[in-house]
Structure 1
Amino acid sequence: MPIKLPEGLPAKRVLEQEHVFVMDEQRAFHQDIRPLKILILNLMPIKETAETQLLRLLGNTPLQVEITLLRMETHQAKNTSTEHLQAFYTTFRDIERQNFDGMIVTGAPIEHLPFEEVAYWPELTRILDWSRQHVTSTIHICWGAQAGLYHHYGIAKRPLAEKMFGVFTHEICLDIPLVRGFDEGFLAPHSRHSTVDEKDVLACPELQLISKSKEAGVYIVATEDGQQIFVTGHSEYDRETLAEEYHRDIERQLQVPLPKNYFPNDDPSQTPLHNWRSHAYLLFSNWLNYYVYQQTPYDLSSLH
């Protein structure tokens, strides 16, 4: 089934070239199906890239999905044009009276800041609180996961001596529908300067540790009802995303480690393998199916 996108969104052209089934509002109107309403709070600096990565995964299920893109009103984006934001994004004040089947909170490259020093932290916490009553299930990614764990459950992020950077093997700690079909050892990228301590997660009775990595630590955490899901890595990343980040940091003369388990023979001139792709598709399709589609009411006005 298709993913419904605004006409003119740059990601639409990219996905069509990849033969991902997308459609505009006019075609969706003629289908007698209520699409799942998914809100994407995009905190990434280059928003077009994050849009394409997430929409690619959301478009790979039998479910019709309608996307709303949300930006922070209290933050001025520097790497995305004003024209793009005005054309395709909305603000919280415009949607706060609405309900959504699902929500995605992306990462953000601001790990060096304490949460309370992030300029848009008050607005973000308001949205996170709102999601508990207005969203069936929310999935938080990387910094978004750390922010959600801290705000909802008081779990602090902890700085790392060296950047967690590369593609790591993970294991399943608790067999739930979110990880149904996963291999016993599966791969996912990480790119972060801080972490969440496993002991802090296990000490919180409201949370379940779903997956972890011997090298990268805590990976997936969720509440028992699946309303809140936290993913500390970046399964949505494209093949070249870590490479682009590495080369960009080197050009800036930053001291960054070579991404682990990523470049063939640890040679940055070689093309990395995209060996986490199937896990990424499965993670998001399981989320949409088991935690959104099968849990959300047909009439969203009855949500909570």
Structure 2
Amino acid sequence: MTITTTIGILNLMHDKLDTQKRFQEVLKFADPQVQIEFLYPVDHYLDRPVPELVAKISQPLAVNQVYRYDAFIITGAPLEQIDFEEVTYYDEIIALLEQLKTKRIPTLFVCWGAMVAMHHFYEIDKYPLANKLFGAYSHQITQPTALLKGLQSGFMAPHARYAEMDSDQIVATKDLVVNAVASNHRNFLLTSREFPFTFLFSHLEYGQRALLKEYQREVQATKSSPGLIARPVNYYMQLGEPVYHWQTVSQRFFENWLTQVKGEITI
């Protein structure tokens, strides 16, 4: 029997349209039949109109309706440098997290999404990095998981963040399994022993030019000299295009995650 999987994605990224295209591409490659609904946090627009583009490409989050989804994704967000509680829609996120936990919905938390979930569920602290973690890095598998099936230590994956979660607190948290870390000891993949939760600190949804576009956007936003903005490392050009180190890794990971999600679905 073919199982049609419906996934809700709370899109918190600044580049809304690009983010949707990226997740659609990686998820549809893994399963062409997957159904995806993109959502936005209602509380983020309480004092202003919802932007036309946001309203056109996504739906308002209805926390009490998340049971309709077979799985859920909370994306990253450009919020690592501010306290969780200062985020305008923090209470809405917490209500969502509690629903995902209560309904035991398989959830993939990406980058800031992983940070806020680990902070809420386990009281793990976030701290600023001296320099932005930015580029493609090599990784080591520390605890095998079906999510990394087909991959071996040394695989490349992209990171783009200004903060990290406290590793000592992570190790002391019995429910968390550290499945893989970057070669510089930064977080990559953690899973919960009790709940169908996956914490991914890499932007594996990023395509070939995503890191380049992020770099160009930050230069433009700050009006800085390109030399003052962190350049993505291990991300060199070949024949006029950035080298797409992690394409196979991304495909394998999302295939494995969807396979795991389908295993959670009861018919």
How does the TM-score come out when normalised to structure 1? 0.80
Q: Distance in 1 between matches of 2:31 and 2:215?
A: 36
- Among 253, 256, 268, which residue is 2:229 paired with? 256
Whether the aligned pair in 2 keeps the contact of 1:169 and 1:187 (CA below 8 Å) is yes
**What does 1:80-95 correspond to in 2, within 5 Å?**
82-93=51-62
The 1:73–1:155 alpha-carbon spacing in structure 2 relative to 1, beyond 3 Å, is same
Q: Distance in 2 between matches of 1:250 and 1:183?
A: 35
Higher mean C-alpha deviation, range 92-101 or range 105-114 = 92-101
SS of the counterpart of 1:209? strand
Equivalent in the alignment of 1:76:
45
2:106 corresponds to:
137
- Unpaired runs of 5+ in structure 1? 1-31, 299-304
What is the count of residue pairs matched by the alignment? 261
Q: Which of 77, 91, 94 matches 1:108?
A: 77
**Matching residue's letter, 2:17:** E
Q: Is 2:256 the partner of 1:283?
A: no
Counterpart of 1:272 in structure 2 is 242
Structure 2 unmatched ranges of 5 or more:
none
1:125-274 map, 5 Å: 125-215=94-184, 217-225=186-194, 227-251=196-220, 252-253=223-224, 255-264=228-237, 270-274=240-244
Secondary structure of the residue aligned to 2:105 is strand
Once the two structures are aligned, what percentage of the paired residues are identical? 28
Measure the CA separation in 2 of the matches of 1:250 and 1:34.
44
**Structure 1 residues 95 and 68, CA, compared in 2 at 3 Å: closer, same or farther?**
farther
Given that residues 36 and 63 in structure 1 are in contact (C-alpha distance below 8 angstroms), is that contact kept between their aligned partners in structure 2?
no
Aligned ranges 1:26-105 → 2 under 5 Å: 33-62=2-31, 64-76=33-45, 82-93=51-62, 96=65, 98-105=67-74
Secondary structure, aligned partner of 2:29: coil
Residue 119 of structure 1 aligns to a residue in which SS? coil
Q: Greater CA deviation, 62-71 or 162-171?
A: 62-71
Secondary structure of 1:140's partner?
strand
Q: Which has the larger radius of gyration?
A: 1
* 1:155, distance to aligned residue in structure 2 (A): 0.8
Write the distance in 2 (CA, Å) between the matches of 1:168 and 1:55. Answer: 24
Alignment match, 1:296: 265
Q: In the alignment, residue 260 of structure 1 is paired with which amino acid?
A: V
SS in 1 for 2:180: strand
Amino acid at match of 2:251: Y
Offset at residue 135 of structure 1 (A): 4.8
Instruction: Report the alpha carbon displacement of residue 124 of structure 1 after superposing the two structures with TM.
Output: 0.7
Q: CA deviation digits over 1:104-153, x for unaligned, max 9?
A: 10000111110000111001111111111235310011111111110111
8 Å Cα contact 2:66-2:99 kept in structure 1: no
1:92 Cα deviation after fit: 2.8
Q: SS in structure 2 opposite 1:185? A: coil
Is the contact between residue 94 and residue 120 of structure 2 (CA under 8 Å) also seen in structure 1? Answer: yes
CA offsets 1:81-110 (integer angstroms, 9 cap, x no match): 834333342223375263321101000011
Moved more, 201-210 or 131-140: 131-140
CA RMSD of aligned residues (A): 2.3
